[in-house]
Structure 1
Amino acid sequence: MTNEAVQPYQRIVRDVREKIISGQFTGGEKLPSTRDLATEHRVSPGTVQRALAELRSAGLIYSHQGSGSYVSELASNTDLDPTARAIKALETQVEKLAARLDRIENRLDD
């Protein structure tokens, strides 16, 4: 499935899930704020809230009103070995670089 076929909130869910799996976000760690995630993903705060709700229902994160959202301890204890985590982290970086390249190419085409 291409990025264009995925809803914006699903891209956020996938991004956060991959960061948890790769170890970039660890158990108990506070996630970036809704505003920061909205800015990073170029979406509205409501879209981020929808993504966070899905992550909560999947048991990957938990939230405290007024404090923020945090990575669940159980979510960060995956069965991936260090090599698999490293590969996943590299895949995430390649996806981000590809997306940045697409944005740059689109600006040059304008």
Structure 2
Amino acid sequence: MRVESLLLILMSVTMSAIAQLLLKLGVQKGQNGSLLTVGITYLTSPFVIGGLALYGLGAFVWLFVLSRVELSAAYPFVGIGFILTMLIGVFALGEAVSAARIIGTLLIAAGCVCVARSVA
């Protein structure tokens, strides 16, 4: 796999993980009320709007990746999103993680390394 393709994959995955943080920040308020009221609160949140926009941009980058890399080689890197999202949860949101979650995340990382090394 070319370095350019790998960087684009990492960019797309990172954008998705950051989008998750923005979405989480955007939905922390406004959980009471009717579905319509809550929906309006969410959809007018700058964090939710930013998160959705970042998802869209990340999806565009992903399409670019898929036009150049085999799906079976690119898709396992989506697992890095689990790692980034966990780290963002811990460091940006102060979430606690268990040993089982850390071990599972390390297994995902090991799988990504195996896939990356297997691509000619």
TM-score (norm. length: structure 1): 0.30
Normalized per residue, which structure has more helix?
Answer: 2
TM, length-normalised to structure 2: 0.28
Q: Which has the larger radius of gyration?
A: 2
